[in-house]
Structure 1
Amino acid sequence: MKELDEFLLARAMEHDSPTLLFRLACEYLISAKVIRPGPVTVVKRVAHAREVARRETFDRLAREFTDERRAGLDGLLVVDTAIGMTRLRWLGKGPVEAVKTEIAKLEFLRGMDAHRLDLSVLPAERRRFLATVGRRLTAQALARRDPERRYPILLTLVAQSATEVLDEVVQLFDQAVSARESKAERKMRGALAERAKAGEDRQALLDAILAIVADPVVPDEQVGGLIRGERIGWERLRAAQSAALPPLPRDHGHLAALEGSYGYLRQFTPQVLEAVPLAGGNAAADLLAAVRILRDLNATSARKVPAGAPAGFVPARWRGYLQDAAEVGDTSAYPALLGVVRAAGAA
Structure 2
Amino acid sequence: MAKRKLLKIQDRKALFDIPTDEDSLMRHYSLSPADRLEIEVRRREHNRLGFAVQLCLMRYPGRALMANEILPEAMLNYIAEQIGADPASFDLYARREETRMNHVARLLRYLEMRAATTEDRRAALLAAIEAATVTDKGATIATAIITTFRERRVLLPAANMIERMGLAARAIARRQAEAALITDLDPETLGTLDGLLAVDPAIGQTRYHWLRSAPEAPGAGNLVGLTERIAFLRMLGIDPRLQTRVPSGRWDQMIREGDATPAWLASDFNASRRRATIVAQIIKLGQKLTDDAVMMFIKLMGRLFSQVNNRKKQRHMSARLETSKALRLFLDTIVALQAANDMDADPMTILDRRVGWHRLLQVKPGLEAMVENSDVSPLVMAAEQHATVRKYAGAFLQTFTFRSQRRHDPLLSAVATIKGLYAEGRRVMPDRVPVGHLTKSERELIFENGKPDRRLYEIATLTHLRDRLHSRDVWVEGSRSFRPIDEHLMPKPAFVALKEEDKLGLGVQADGAAWLAETQQMMDFNLKRLAWRARYGKLEGVRMENGTLIVTPHTSAVPAAAEPSMPKSPTCILWSRYPICCGKCMNGRDSPTSSPMSGREMHHRILPPCWPACLPMAPISARNAWRGPRKASAHIRSAGCAASMPAPKPIAPRRPVSPTLIRAIRIRDYGVMEQPLHPTGSSSGLAIGLPSGVTSISITATSLARNSTAGSRTNMATSAFCRSVRPRARLSMSSTACSITTRFWRSKNCLPIPVAPATMSLRCSL
**Please, what TM-score do these two structures have when normalized by structure 2?**
0.40
CA drift of 1:333 comes to: 4.7
Deviation track 1:41-61 (CA, whole Å, cap 9, x = no partner) reads 332122022022023213433
Which of 178, 193, 200 aligns to 1:80? It is 200
* Conserved? CA contact 2:123–2:148, under 8 Å: no
CA drift of 1:312 comes to: 2.8
Structure 2 residue 424 is matched with structure 1 residue 300: yes
Query: Please, which moves more after superposition, 4-13 or 83-92?
Result: 4-13
SS in 2 for 1:279: strand
Structure 2 residue 456 is matched with structure 1 residue 335: yes
Aligned residue pair count? 342
| Residue of structure 2 equivalent to 1:128 | 252
CA drift of 1:296 comes to: 1.6
Structure 2 residue 314 is matched with structure 1 residue 190: yes
SS in 2 for 1:295: helix
Q: Which amino acid aligns with 1:289?
A: S
Q: Which amino acid aligns with 1:143?
A: S
For 1:319 and 1:220, locate their aligned partners in 2 and report how far apart those are by CA, in whole Å: 52
For 1:133 and 1:250, locate their aligned partners in 2 and report how far apart those are by CA, in whole Å: 58
CA drift of 1:231 comes to: 6.6
* Conserved? CA contact 1:13–1:53, under 8 Å: yes
For 1:212 and 1:34, locate their aligned partners in 2 and report how far apart those are by CA, in whole Å: 113
Structure 2 residue 324 is matched with structure 1 residue 203: no
> Cα RMSD (Å) of the superposition?
3.7
CA drift of 1:236 comes to: 5.1
SS in 1 for 2:311: helix
| Residue of structure 2 equivalent to 1:9 | 129
Deviation track 1:104-158 (CA, whole Å, cap 9, x = no partner) reads 1111110112354432121122222212222322333323322332222222111
Structure 2 residue 195 is matched with structure 1 residue 71: no
For 2:202 and 2:273, locate their aligned partners in 1 and report how far apart those are by CA, in whole Å: 28
Structure 2 residue 438 is matched with structure 1 residue 314: yes
For 1:291 and 1:250, locate their aligned partners in 2 and report how far apart those are by CA, in whole Å: 31
| Residue of structure 1 equivalent to 2:367 | 244
CA drift of 1:315 comes to: 4.4
Q: Which amino acid aligns with 2:178?
A: F
- Output aligned runs, 1:102-251, within 5 Å: 102-114=226-238, 116-206=240-330, 228=351, 234-235=357-358, 237-246=360-369, 247-248=371-372
For 1:52 and 1:138, locate their aligned partners in 2 and report how far apart those are by CA, in whole Å: 24
Unaligned runs of 5+ in 1: none
Q: Which amino acid aligns with 1:78?
A: A
For 1:84 and 1:229, locate their aligned partners in 2 and report how far apart those are by CA, in whole Å: 77
Query: Please, which moves more after superposition, 30-39 or 154-163?
Result: 30-39
CA drift of 1:167 comes to: 1.2
Change over 3 Å in CA distance of 1:150–1:230 after alignment to 2 = same
Larger RCO, structure (CA 8 Å, separation 6 or more): 1
Q: Which amino acid aligns with 1:293?
A: T
* Conserved? CA contact 1:57–1:122, under 8 Å: yes
SS in 2 for 1:150: helix
* Conserved? CA contact 1:109–1:115, under 8 Å: no
Change over 3 Å in CA distance of 1:140–1:243 after alignment to 2 = closer
For 1:214 and 1:27, locate their aligned partners in 2 and report how far apart those are by CA, in whole Å: 104
Change over 3 Å in CA distance of 1:118–1:224 after alignment to 2 = farther
Change over 3 Å in CA distance of 1:140–1:80 after alignment to 2 = same
* Conserved? CA contact 1:114–1:159, under 8 Å: yes
Percentage identity across paired residues of the two chains: 18
Change over 3 Å in CA distance of 1:212–1:301 after alignment to 2 = same
| Residue of structure 1 equivalent to 2:67 | none
Change over 3 Å in CA distance of 1:26–1:200 after alignment to 2 = farther
Deviation track 1:233-254 (CA, whole Å, cap 9, x = no partner) reads 6455444434322544897442
For 2:375 and 2:186, locate their aligned partners in 1 and report how far apart those are by CA, in whole Å: 57
For 1:31 and 1:237, locate their aligned partners in 2 and report how far apart those are by CA, in whole Å: 103
CA drift of 1:273 comes to: 0.7
Unaligned runs of 5+ in 2: 1-120, 470-766
Deviation track 1:221-267 (CA, whole Å, cap 9, x = no partner) reads 87956984677564554444343225448974423333442222212
Deviation track 1:192-212 (CA, whole Å, cap 9, x = no partner) reads 333454323333455566779
**Please, what TM-score do these two structures have when normalized by structure 1?**
0.81
Change over 3 Å in CA distance of 1:225–1:53 after alignment to 2 = same
Structure 2 residue 225 is matched with structure 1 residue 101: yes
Larger strand fraction of residues: 2
For 1:265 and 1:10, locate their aligned partners in 2 and report how far apart those are by CA, in whole Å: 52
| Residue of structure 2 equivalent to 1:54 | 174
CA drift of 1:220 comes to: 12
CA drift of 1:270 comes to: 0.8
Q: Which amino acid aligns with 2:163?
A: V
For 1:12 and 1:28, locate their aligned partners in 2 and report how far apart those are by CA, in whole Å: 14
